[in-house]
Every structure is written in C-alpha cells, then in structure tokens.
Structure 1
Amino acid sequence: MGTVPPHPLKKLSDNDCLAIFAQHSLGPHELLEEIGKKIVTKCDGLPLAAQTLGGLLRGRHDRRVWEGVLGSKIWELPEQRCRIIPALAIGGCKKVVWESATGHLGSQNSVVCRDTSNQVFFAGPLKPQLPKLEELEINDMKEQTYIWKSHNELLQDICSLKRLTIDSCPELQSLVAEEEKDQQQQLCELSSRLEYLGLSDCEGLVKLPQSSLSLSSLREIQISSCSSLVSFPEIALPSKLRKIDIWHCDALKSLPEAWMCDANSSLEILTILFCDSLRYIAEVQLPPSLKRLNIMMCDNIRTLTVEEGIQSSSSSRRYTSYLLEGLYISCCPSLTCIFSKNELPATLESLEVGNLPPSLKSLGVESCSKLESIAERLDNNTSLETIDISNCGNLKILPSGLHNLRQLQEIKIRACENLVSFPEGGLPCAKLMRLEIYACKRLEALPKGLHNLTSLQQLKIGTGGELPSLEEDDGLPTNLHSLEIDGNTKIWKSMIERGRGFHRFSSLRRLKIMNCDDDTVSFPPEDIILGTTLPLPASLTSLWIFFFPNLERLSSSIVDLQNLTELVFWGCPKLKSFPEKGLPSSLLKLRIVNCPLIEEKCRKDGGQYWDLLTHIPSVLIDI
C-alpha cells in the first residue's frame, strides 16, 4: 500500500451540499430556491450542516422561516459554541484503508468520501487529526460482513465517537470481525463514548451481533428494515440503554427474556412497529424499568405477555415491581387481550384476560379489532390518568372498578361499535376533566351519575346509536367549560324541553351542537313550557351550529352574548335571517358554510347583512 498516494480530504462542493440540503428539505419551493442556495453556501461544505438545516426546513414553505435561518446568529458563533455535530460519512466504498503514513487532514470536522473505484485510502493515523469527530455514518458497503478488524482500527483512532449509523450494508453480520482475539478490548475502548447505534436496511442480518450489545455507554438503539432479523442475543442490555426502536423487521419472532428479567436494566422506552412475526412481547413480564411501550402495526401479536402473574396466586413466577406509565397499542388486528394471566405453558389461541400494571398512567388502544376487554378489573390501577380506546369493534364492556380510579383525568371511547354499557359504579368523580363518547352504536346509556362529576370540564357525546334522554335526576354536570352533542336528538331535546336550557351552565365557554334537531326553526330554541327563548350562558365564547335542516333565523337574544368571539354555522340550508340588532359586538370570527340563503345576504358586494358584519375581523363565507 506504500505506493498508493494519500488522498487529501476536502469539504463538499456547493453543488454536493445543495443536493444533501434538497434531499432532506424535500427540495425548496421555486420561490425559496435562491434562499436555499444562500443557506447552503453558509454551510461551508459541511454535509451534516446541510442535512440538519434541510430537515429543519422540511415541508415549511414560509419564506420568513427560511430567511430566519439565513439571518440566524448561529453562523456568527465560534466553532466551540456551534452545536452542529462534526461528522464522517463513508458512502459507496467497498474497501476503506487507513495508512500509517503521516498525512495532514487539517482541522476539518466533516469528511465525506465518494470514489468511483470503490477503494479509498486515508492517510493517518486519524486520532490526532480528527479529535472532534462525534458521528460516523457508513452507507452502501455492499460486500462487507463486518466493519472493523482490530489491528490499527477505527475503534482506537476516533476517540470522540458518540453516534454510529450503518445503512444499506446487505451482507453485514457483525461490527467487528469475530475471529479477532482482541475484539472485546476494542469494544471496551469504543464503549466509553458511543451513545447511539442505528442499523437500517441490513437485509442479511439474521441475529443482532452480540458485540452491538456489549457497548456499555449505549443509550439508544434504532433498528429498521432488517428484513431477515429473527432474534437478538440472549444477553442483558447495556446498563445505560434507555431507548430501543425496532421498525419493519418482519422476521423477528421474539425478544430476549434476558431483557425482561434484568433487575439492573435502565430501558425506559420500547417502540415496535411493523414486526409481523411477533406474537407476544414477553413470556412472563416486561422489563421492570420500562416506562413507555408503543406497539403499532404488528399484525400477528396476540398479547403483550403470555403469563400475567400479578393476581395469580398459583403462579410460581411474579412480576418485578413495574414502572410502566405509558402504554399505546395501535393497529394490531390479532390482539386478543393486553395482558394474559394464563399459566405457562399457554397457547396463544385461548388467552384469559389479565390486569394492567398498577403503575400505568396512560393507556391508549386503537384499531385492535379482536380485543374484547382491556383488563379483568381496574381496582388496582389507581395511577391511571388517561384512557383512550378507539376503533376496537369487538370491545363489549369496560372493566369494573372504573369508579375507583382516583387519578383519572380523561376518558375517550370512540368507534367501539359493540360496546354496550359502562360499569355499574359509574365514573370517578375526583379529577375527571374530559369525557368523550363517540360512534358507539350499541351503547345503551351514558354512564350513571354524570351530574356528580364536579371536576368535568369537557364533554363530547357523538354520533352512534341514539342514546336515551337524560333522567330528571341525572342531567349533565353544570360546571362544564365545553360541551359537544352530535347526533343525539333525545339528549338535546331533554335539555331544552324540561326547562333546563343552558343558562345553568355558568362556566360554559364552548358549545357545539350537530345533527340534533330537525324541528328547530329559531336558535336559541324556545322553552316549550314557558314560551320564551331559552337563554344561553353569558360566559359563552364559541358557538357552533351544524346541520339544522329547518333552522331559519337567529333569535335576538344572541346579541346579549357579549363574550362571544366565535360563531359558526354549517349545513343549515334554510337559515335566512339575523336579528335586526345584528350580531354580538364581541365577535372576532364568523364562519358560514353550506347555508346558501344567508350566504347570499352576507355578500360584500351588496348583501343585506354585510353592514352588520364589518366590525368582525375575520368573516369566512363559503358561497
């Protein structure tokens, strides 16, 4: 190799830098192209600067944003204060060699290597020349089965490396050649720095190499589109590892039990997407340190754990104390239950519903069509703060014990078409602030005791089955700040026909009524008993009226709402008149959509009501 001259490394040309910037910003809009070129010029040939700023401006076409980046004071900062990470990217090279000859690389912090011969020689050693290198990207090494050997290698040359990304290396099997005797020594040298490891599009990788989990300083691992990856080494995770993302690994069949049982684990966030061979996450328990678990688009997953063990007195194995606070499951069509309490050996065809970890604070389940119940009981889940269940068509009941969740602040149940009822005990009173029930076609009644929910501020009752009218002693809580009723005629009419009206809701700020009344001609409607217009609360700031097919006019009492700032009419084809006194002087926004008669009268060019609208800053009329 002594006959091969050193290859001096230079910064990228402006054209190469522009290509990187355009790739990550999805290409500047024509009107922004000149600003983009000026930004690229300021990147001074540094690829990571172009990549970072391109990603920052991705999809943002506001000229002021681009000009703000161009005029930013970051360009004036000295190098030691600039937070753009120095990077080395090696692309399209079959063979990379560092020579012992003395060469001068200058003070460059970023190096990009491209060579049509697919063989590049760097003069070295690199350690004294690139002391600030923190990020290394290796791309398109088509024939490499490993990245480094141990003699005179990168592990000892680059002393500040914190992030390592390996992409599109289809033959990769390991980071370091396994036959090297001093492999572990070199890993230890790297382990004192490396915090992030990313592997993507490494199609030949069947099992994650043990070396990758021997790096003690790792804090995050991201693995994506490794289509042949079946398993991970059965060893404990690095003690500092906090986050694992696994995406598009279709062959992955299981996660190591060593991850699940390690009392010294620091893993806090686990995200798994598009892993269709996974049928469960763990046999007995999830990692005891785990705080957030996200499972999405895993078509064949049946349950998170096969044996629950929390409540099972006959089980010889029990959960370590859980820290799990957030659980989100989406688009897992084979999910039967979240946690199973079956004893091992168990079959995934007949799982018995278990309970949720008592530490759980947030539960979200979406589009899991086979899920019948989220838990056996909720009595022990006193830490739960939010429950969000949607598009679970087989869910028929909610667990008992719901009323005991003293920390619960939000419940959203949407598009669960077979849900029949809420538990007998009703809902918790102490802290519940938001309740949303939408598109539950078979729901027979609202939860009992709604009027006792003194902390409730937001209530949405949406389309689905026709819920029965409110009982005399079980109306809605009067402390509401926001109320939305969509497609529930009986509830709407029970509020206005019994003289209840809305004036009792002295804190109500937002009222949205949709698809609720085919008979109302005037709004606010009249009290049938007293023959007067039902008053709206003076506190109201936003009023939305949607799809009242026979509504013809607004009552003059609307003018008295001196706190009203937003008024919206949508789909009221017969609406044709406003009060003679006009609309409230406090209005800031008026929107009228699909109301042809009143739209014509509100035209700026000669419309009958235009003069009544000139004080409103924002008037949007769909004509």
Structure 2
Amino acid sequence: QRCRIIPALAVSYYYLPPTLKQCFAHCSLLPKDYEFEEEEIILLWCAAGFLDHKEDENPSEDLGRDFFKELCSRSFFQQSATDASLFVMHDLINDLARWAAGETYFTLEYTSEVNKQQCFSRNLRHLSYIRGDYDGVQRFGDLYDIQHLRTFLPVMLTNSRPGFLAPSILPKLLKPQRLRAFSLRGYYIFELPDSVGDLRYLRYLNLCGTKIRTLPESVNKLYNLHSLLLEDCDRLKKLCADMGNLAKLHHLKNSNTKSLEEMPVGIGKLTSLQTLCNFVVGKGSGSGLRELKLLTHLHGTLNISKLENVKCVGDAMEAQMDGKKNLKELSLKWTCSTDGSSSREAETEMGVLDMLKPHTNLEQFCIKGYGGMKFPTWLGDSLFSNLVTLEFEDCGMCTALPSVGQLPSLKHLTVRGMSRVKRLGSEFCGNDPPCLETLRFENMREWEDWIPHGSGQRVEGFPKLRELHILRCSKLKGTFPEHLPALEMLVIEGCEELLVSVSSLPALCKLHIGGCKKVVWRRPLKLRLPKLEELEIENMKEQTYIWKSHKELLQDICSLKRLTIDSCPKLQSLVAEEEKDQQQQLCELSCRLEYLTLSGCQGLVKLPQSSLSLNSLREIEIYKCSSLVSFPEVALPSKLKKIEIRECDALKSLPEAWMCGTNSSLEILSIQGCHSLTYIAGVQLPPSLKRLEIDFCDNLRTLTVEEGIQSSSSSSSSSRSIWTCENLKFLPSGLHNLRQLQEIEIWECENLVSFPQGGLPCAKLSMLTVYGCERLKALPKGLHNLTNLHSLEIHGNTKIWKSMIEWGRGFHRFSSLRELKISRCDDDMVSFPPEDIRLGTTLPLPASLTSLEIGYFPNLERLSSSIVDLQNLTSLFLYHCPKLKYFPEKGLPSSLLELIIYRCPLIAEKCGKDGGQYWDLLTHIPHVAIDGKSIFGDKYSRE
C-alpha cells in the first residue's frame, strides 16, 4: 500500500503537526465516498482523546474545529458537491489516511459473501465497517477475541435502511473494557444490555436510529461519557432516572425523539452540556424549565416541548433563556389542543412565552401550539437582527400575527394552522421585509384577504421573494402582492374560492396551481412567463382549457420542461381554438417540453397534434382520461423514451405511426387498465422498445395483428416484458428471438394455455414469474438452458409445480438461481422440498439460492433437512402454512440473516423467547419476525 501513495501527498502528511497527524489518521475509519459532518468527526476525535490539552482552557470542541479547518485548508477534506454542510475525502486522501493509520485501524468493507469470515490483527484498536441490512455472527469473525478494541463504528451510507444485528452479537461486542467509542447507529435493536455500564472508559455512545425504549440505569456509571447520541430514537420514552454522575457529558443529542416523556430530574446539574437538542418539560414533580438555568454553555439547536406542563410563569423566568447567547435555533412547543376544548390557561401561556424571550443572537425561531391570545411585544423587535427563519404553527387562539417587517435579516417566514386569523395587512409585514425570500401560508381556514376590504390599502410587493406557497386556505379571495420580480416558485393549493390571475413573473421557474376556482392568464403579454420550466395544474373543477390558442401555448412553453395537468374533469382540450398551421408555429419557436402528464381529465377527448410533435419530448403519461378515444396519428418525437397510459377506458388503439417510425427512440411502453384495447400494434412494435408492460387490459387478445412480423422486428431490442391480461390467448411465436429480453412476468392470464413452441430467449433472461395462470401445463421447453436465470416465481399453478418435481434432479442445474418463490401449488405437500418419488430423496434445490419463499401450503408440516445444505441462503419467508410445525433436525443454515414467518401458528409457538423449542436456533439470525413483529423486541406473544 505504501507504494500506491503519491509522493506529494505523503509529503503533505509528513509536514502536519503531530496532533493533526493522529486526527487525520483517525479519519481512515471513514469509507471511501462517505459524506460526513464536521461535528461528527470532532466528536470522534474527542472520544479518542486527541483534543485533551489541559493547558488550553477553551473547550475541546473549539480545538477540534480549528484542526478541522486546518485539514480543510490543506485539502485533506473537501466540501461535498451535493450538500454544502457535508464533507468528503478524495479516494487518494483516503488511501493516505489508511497508510498513515497502520494496522491499528481497519475498515471492514461490505461483502455479499455471507460465509466469508474476517480475520483481524491482534494489534487492532479502531474498527469501522459499512453497516449492512443484516449483520450476522459470521461477519465479525474473530473480533470478539480482541480485548483492547477502542472504537467500534458502523457507518451508514446514504439512504440506508434500518439494519438488523444478530442478538447473540451484542453482549460479545460489549466485552472489550477499554472501548472509547461505541456505536449501534441505525440498528433495529430494542434494548441495550446493562453491561454497557461496565465500559468505564467509554466517551462516545451512539444509539441514533435504534428502537430502544429506555436507557439502562447503568449508563449513569459511564463517568467519562462525553457524547450521548440518541437522535431519531422514535420509541425512546425515558432516559436514566439519575444522570448526575455524567458530569463530563458535553453533548446529549436527542432530536426527533417524539416518544420521550420528560427529562430526568437533576439534568440541570450537567453544567458542561453544550448540546441538548430536545428538552421535554415534565409533569408535576418532573423536570421543569428551572433545570435550564445553569446550562449556560448550550449552543446550536434547542427544542423545548410540552410547555403546557409549565404552571408557573416564574419557572420560565428562571430558565434565563435571554442569557444563552450561543443558541442559534430555538423551538417552543405546546402539544395540547388549541381549539378551546381543553383546560388551557391562556394568561399563563402568554406569560410563559413572554419570559422565554431568547438572546438576540438567535437565527431560527419556531412557536408551535401556543394557546395565548396574542404574541409578546418583543417578537418582531428589530434587535433580533440575526433572525433568518421564523415559523408560527397551530397558534389557534391568536387573531393577529406579530409585525415581522422590522426584522432586517428575515429570509424565511412560515405561518401554518392559524385558524382564527382572517386578514393580513401592513401591520404584519410592515415596510416589505427587505430580505424575505420564502413565504409560506398553510391551513389558514378563516383567512379571507391580505388586507381589509375597502381599507384603501394595497398589497405591497416583496422584491427578493423567491418562493410563495399558499396551501389549504379555503376562504381566501383577496389580492396577491403585485411586485414579485424575483419569484421563482409559486404554489397555490386548496383555495376553493380563489380566482388565480397569473401576471408577468419574469423569474418564475415553477408554477403549481391546484384546488382553486379557476386560473386566468392576464392579457396582453407576449411572453408572460419567459423562464417557466414546470407547470402543474390540478383539481380545477371549472377549467375547460389551459390555453386559448396555439400561439399562447407555444409562448408559455418556450422554456417549459414539465407540464402536469391532474383532476380537471371538465377539461376538453389543452387549447380552445382549432389547430391551424401548428407545424409552422413549431418551427418558429424552439420548444423544450420534455415531460407531459395528463391525469383525471375525464372530459378530455383529444390532444392537440402539436403536443405530440415537439421534438424535445422524452416522457408522456396519460392517466384516467376516460373519454380519450385516440391519439394524433403522427410519428413519435425522436427523443421520446417512455409512454405510460393507464385507465383510459375509451381508448381502442394506438397510432400505427408510433410503431412504424424509423426514427423512434421509444424504450418503455406501459399500458394498464385500458379495457377497450384489443391489440397494441397492427404490424410491429417499435424496434427500439426495451420494456413492454400490459396490465389489466381485459379485451386484449394479441399484441399485434400480424404476429410473426412483430417478433422478428423486435428481436434485438426488448429487455423486459410484463403481461397481465386475462383474455390473452397466446404469446408471440417468436418470443425466443427476443435475445435482449431480461425479465418476463405473466400474471392472471386465465386463457393462456402454453408457452410458444420455440420456448424462451436463453441469452439474458434473468427473471421469470408465472402468477395465477391455471391453464398453463408446464414451463417452456429448454428451461435448463437459462443459465442467467436469477429469479423464478411460481404462484397458483399446480401443473407447473408438479412438472418441476417430475423434472427432479435437473432442477439443481440452475446454477445462477438466487431467488425462488413458490405458493399455492400443492395442497397435498407435507414437506419442503418435496420428495423425489423415483429416487426416494428430497428435491435438490440449487446451492446458489440466497432467498426462498414458500406459502399457502395447507398441509405442509416440516422443512426437509436439505434446507440446511443451502449455505448461501440469507432470507427465508414462510407464510400461510397452518400445519407447519418442524424445522430441520440439524437446524437452519448458518448463513441465514432473515427469517419471516406469517400465519404459521404452530411453528410460531415454538419460536417464543420463554420456553420456545427453537429459540436457541434463532439468536444468530439478525432479523426474525413473526406475524409482522420482531421476536427480539418485547416479549413475543401470539396475537
């Protein structure tokens, strides 16, 4: 590895100060391409002890930030291209870090080889690994024998799902007594063993995203704990009752812990706390706002919830919120109803909010569920010169909003659920907030107008406003701001009384109007919306057309890339006037429309010919247009890749010009629920077609009128086909010639008797599904030649299943088969795999199987011993087998990572934690669920 390091990079590392060298080497724990936050790395440095400098009086986090900036300045870290708040290391820099770290560090990469065990160096001190969906015993090899491990760090990649960890692993992971950093982030675990309290050197404990309900009391013995991370623990109800021993705790990150009932009494003694994301006010003798008094070092974000439990205004005053100058984001939340039906004390809540005045350094402020009649006078004060974001939500007793026009830095304003506010005027926005960029009104059910009628006032504009959202304001009728030169996005939804008049908006890129009375385009304007790229109009009950003429259509779509029209039942056409010289107009104007979607337009009879003549079109989607009879008989645009048509009951055929165009690029054709359609094409399908989906077209009997020609013309292009039509009698005779075909699904084709004589294409077919085709007698000829078949599904076809059994040992020839799903195929089968009567042995399954699903076998009693031989099997799903009661005597495959059992009551009884016969067989499996419930959570009981 040393030879692969670029000399210039090695020199850059060589000249780093010693403290920076060890900090950089610690970053070798990060996988390549992993995007990370600055604080994430700093907390790991703190846990490793790299920032402990007694001569420096500043907090260790400040030193860590200096180190991080220095490494950024030397280009060891780079800002992510997708998110400005994240960072990444270049692959070469990552290699340099691993070279510098040596054998005391190791990053375990993810592998799909379930039987591969990792051997670790006895000098290993710091381990990270890419967390899998299912992490079993074998993945960690001999890690449990390493007694001096300092760091155990699973790393979640972007958009990772919650993962499962085998229950038998966790106690072993907690054995190394010198652990400094321990993480179970993102694992689906329900409780933390009490033995965690034995990790006396532990400084970093990350339980984010787990399903734990309480913290064990032994956590209070972690005297050196510096960071306790509990974000997204949505089932967490209680912390330790006593956290007084955690005097060194700097960070308690508990955002998105919606089930947390209260904070522990005495949390105010943790005076070193810098991060406390969520403070939950307790009832009665529970923790009150007074606990916040001594937490003077809090910084970043603080959410104070359940403020309805505050009964004394003096508690709010003692919190001394105005002295917490390092707080940047503050949310104050009450959770009781605000409609007057509960015992809310409006005067008390007004006093509480008044006393919770934050420091003027605040940048983001949210008030939710407030039950007072009015807002305090300090809200909107120009002294809050740093305030950028302000939100009011569900403050249902207030009839007026505070004046926010004096806030010089305000950029984002949201008003949601203010049910008693009827009008907004100059007292709300004052002299046009100079920096306002985003304005959002939502669920304002009594709001009628921006200003009082007949007041003589006019609605001022917002010169820098980029986004305006008005959602579900059912009584709104008034005038909008007139001067919006910078507006890029306008969204209006659910305003039934509103007549939307669209004027000239020179910067507008996205326009979404839905659930309003009508939309009107102001006249006269040559180019009203010159930059509009997305236009969506939905749920407009009275709209009969969108544009009056083709000229207007072409003017508005000169920059338009996406057009969506949904649930406009009276819409008859996109353009009111008859088509005249549209081709000439198209030549004069360069159109950019790429995506066209029409849905729920029951009155739409036709599309303008010009709409399908735009060369820029890439996708067309037509849904639930029940009166649409046909499409214009024009060739498809050369760039069009996808056509999707659903539930167009009157549609009888598709244009032959679509199928015969020599310049066609169509790759996906999807037709669903078109009950009048009898065939797809007269002669052939487009030669460029890669995917054909036909679902629930009851009267479809054939794909093409001239069957043979269709097959040969597409022989080198199709790659996926789905057929789902109950009256389809036969498949194309030349199906075997579709050499690029990869997937075939045949669903509920009741009249289909057999596969074509030529069989299936062998070259690339990877998936075959037959569902509910009861008349099919057997699988096609030459099935054993499908060397690339990865997935085979047979549902509800006894004849096919029995032909597979009779085939016997030939079944194991599917050396590439990974997934096998069998259901409703044999009411008499007692064991699975079934016995081969000729040989007196069980049907051999392919050793390559990784996933097996069997269901709806009413007399199945046991799984055969040959299941144990499937050493690559990772997933087993058993469902609706009411008599199943035995696993193989030798147990289940050691490779198994997931076991799902549904509606199999007899075997379920034997899997319980208390006295279940098979419990010990299951603890090595990360995920075991019975009837939708994990058996490793609460005590399992049948429901």
Class of the TM-score when normalised by the shorter of the 2 chains: 0.5 to 0.7
How many angstroms does 1:446 deviate by? 4.3
Equivalent pair of 2:362/2:387 in contact (CA under 8 Å): no
Structure 1 residues 259 and 362 mapped into 2: Cα distance closer, same or farther (>3 Å)?
farther
Question: 1:583: Cα distance to partner?
Answer: 2.3
Deviation per residue, 1:383-419 (Å, 9 max, x gap): x4444443443444335747627554433344x3333
For 1:84 and 1:508, locate their aligned partners in 2 and report how far apart those are by CA, in whole Å. 57
Which residue of 1 is the match for residue 59 of structure 2?
none
Query: Partner amino acid for 2:535?
Result: I
8 Å CA contact 1:335–1:371 kept in 2: the answer is no
Distance 2:481 2:714 in 1: 54
Distance between the aligned counterparts of 1:589 and 1:119, measured in 2? 57
> Does residue 195 in structure 1 map to residue 488 in structure 2?
yes
Question: Given residue 442 of structure 1, which amino acid in structure 2 is its aligned partner?
Answer: N
1:293 alignment partner, SS class: strand
AA matched with 1:558: I
Q: Does the 8 A contact of 1:328 with 1:365 survive in 2?
A: no
> 465, 469, 480: which one pairs with 2:778?
469
Q: Is the 8 A contact 1:429 1:453 kept in 2?
A: no
Q: Does 1:458 align with 2:767?
A: yes
3-state SS in 1 of match to 2:598: strand
1:135 maps to amino acid: T
1:7 matched residue in structure 2 = none
Using the TM superposition, give the Cα deviation of residue 601 of structure 1 relative to its aligned residue in structure 2, in angstroms: 4.8
Q: 1:488 to 1:33 in 2, by over 3 A?
A: farther
Aligned to 2:448: 142
Q: Partners of 1:77 and 1:173 in 2: how far apart?
A: 32
Tell me, what secondary structure is at the counterpart of 1:31?
coil
User: Is the aligned partner of 1:247 residue 2:538?
Assistant: yes
Is structure 2 residue 868 aligned with structure 1 residue 559? yes
Amino acid corresponding to residue 253 of structure 1 in structure 2: T
What residue in structure 2 maps to residue 380 of structure 1?
A: 686
SS where residue 503 of structure 1 aligns?
A: helix
Corresponding position of 1:9: none
Question: Which residue does 1:6 correspond to in 2?
Answer: none
The alpha carbon displacement at 1:333 in A equals 4.4
TM superposition shift of 1:565: 1.6
Show CA shifts across 1:68-127 (max 9, x none).
xxxxxxx99999xx99768999x999999x9xxxx9654444568999794743599846
Instruction: Tell me which residue corresponds to 1:221.
Output: 511
Q: Conserved in 2, the CA contact under 8 Å of 1:146 and 1:176?
A: no
Displacement of 1:513: 0.3
Residues 450 and 475, structure 1, Cα contact 8 Å, conserved in 2: no
Distance 1:391 1:576 in 2: 39
After superposition, what is the alpha-carbon deviation per residue over 1:180-206, rounded to whole angstroms, capped at 9, x for unaligned?
xxxxxx6xxx44x22112233444556
- Quick one: distance in 1 between partners of 2:615 and 2:676? 26
User: In structure 1, what is the equivalent of residue 561 of structure 2?
Assistant: 268
Match of 2:260 among 31, 53, 56: 31
SS of alignment partner, residue 800 of structure 2: helix
Distance 1:595 1:306 in 2: 57
Once the two structures are superposed, the pairs formed by residues 370-449 of structure 1 within 5 Å of their partners are 370-373=676-679, 379-380=685-686, 382=688, 384-399=689-704, 401=710, 404=714, 408-414=718-724, 416-426=725-735, 429-446=738-755
**TM-fit CA distance, 1:571:** 2.2
Indicate which of 796, 800, 809 corresponds to 1:487.
796
How far 1:318 moved relative to its partner? 10
Q: Are the counterparts in 1 of residues 411 and 438 from structure 2 also a CA contact under 8 Å?
A: no
CA contact (8 A) 2:736 2:761 kept: no
Distance change (3 Å), C-alpha of 1:375 and 1:546: same
Distance 1:252 1:390, change over 3 A: farther
Secondary structure of the residue that 2:563 maps to in structure 1?
strand
1:154 and 2:463 aligned: no
Shift of the 95–253 alpha-carbon distance from structure 1 to 2, 3 Å rule, reads farther
Q: Does the CA contact (< 8 Å) of 2:729 and 2:752 recur in 1?
A: yes
RMSD: 5.0
1:209 aligns with 2:501: yes
Aligned-partner Cα distance in 1 for 2:479–2:722: 46
* SS at structure 1 position matched to 2:854: strand
CA shift in 2, pair 1:445/1:266, >3 Å? farther
Q: Over residues 462-499 of structure 1, what are the superposed CA-to-partner deviations in whole Å (9 max), with x where a residue is unaligned?
A: 12443231343466833122221111222222223134
Alignment of 1:593-604 (within 5 A): 593-604=902-913
User: Does structure 1 retain, via aligned residues, the 8 Å contact 2:767–2:790?
Assistant: yes
Deviations 1:5-51 (A, max 9, x none): xxxxxxxxxxxxxxxxxxxxxx995637883874368786799x99x
Contact 1:323 1:360 in 2 (8 A): no
Please tell me the residue identity of whatever aligns with 2:512. Q
Matched, 1:341 2:650: no
> CA separation of 1:77/1:537 partners in 2, compared to 1, >3 Å: closer, same or farther?
farther
In 2, are the aligned partners of 1:418 and 1:442 still within 8 Å (CA)?
yes
Pair 1:349–1:332, CA change in 2 (3 A):
closer
Q: Is the 8 A contact 1:231 1:254 kept in 2?
A: no
Following the alignment from structure 2 to structure 1, what is the Cα–Cα distance between the partners of residues 541 and 730? 38
Give distance in 1, aligned partners of 2:574 and 2:809: 52
Identify if the C-alpha distance between structure 1 residues 216 and 109 changes in structure 2 by more than 3 Å, giving closer, same or farther.
closer
SS of the residue aligned with 2:507? Answer: coil
User: Could you list the per-position Cα deviations for residues 407-451 of structure 1 after superposition, in whole angstroms to 9, with x for gaps in the alignment?
Assistant: 54433344x333333344327745433332222333344467553
CA deviation after TM superposition for structure 1 residue 541, in Å: 1.1
- Residues 273, 379 of structure 1: CA spacing in aligned structure 2 closer, same or farther, 3 A cutoff? same
Q: Deviations over 1:507-556 (max 9, x none)?
A: 11111101112233332233455444332111111111111223333332
> Residue 322 of structure 1 contacts residue 359 of structure 1 at CA under 8 Å; is this kept in 2?
no
Alignment correspondent of 2:879:
570
Identify if the C-alpha distance between structure 1 residues 46 and 226 changes in structure 2 by more than 3 Å, giving closer, same or farther: farther
Q: CA deviation at 1:224?
A: 0.6
Q: Distance in 2 between matches of 1:29 and 1:132?
A: 34
Partner SS, residue 568 of structure 1 = strand
- TM superposition shift of 1:225: 0.4
Distance apart, 1:277 and its partner CA: 1.6
User: If you compute each CA radius of gyration, which structure gives the higher value, 1 or 2?
Assistant: 2
Q: State the distance in 2 between where 1:531 and 1:595 align.
A: 28
**Structure 1: tracts of 5 or more residues without a match:** 1-26, 51-74, 178-185, 308-316
Tell me if structure 1 keeps the 8 A contact 2:364–2:389. no
Please identify, of 368-377 and 428-437, the stretch whose mean Cα deviation from structure 2 is larger. 368-377
Matches within 5 A, 1:323-334: 323-334=616-627
Q: Is the 1:265–1:288 Cα contact (8 Å) retained in structure 2?
A: yes
Cα distance 1:116–1:610, how it changes in 2: closer, same or farther (>3 A)?
closer
Name 2:57's counterpart in structure 1: none
Q: In the TM superposition, what is the alpha-carbon distance from 1:263 to its structure 2 partner?
A: 10
The answer on whether the counterparts of 1:145 and 1:172 sit within 8 Å (CA) in structure 2 is no
Distance (Å, rounded) in 2 between the aligned partners of 1:449 and 1:263: 53
Q: Which secondary structure does the structure 2 equivalent of 1:491 belong to?
A: helix
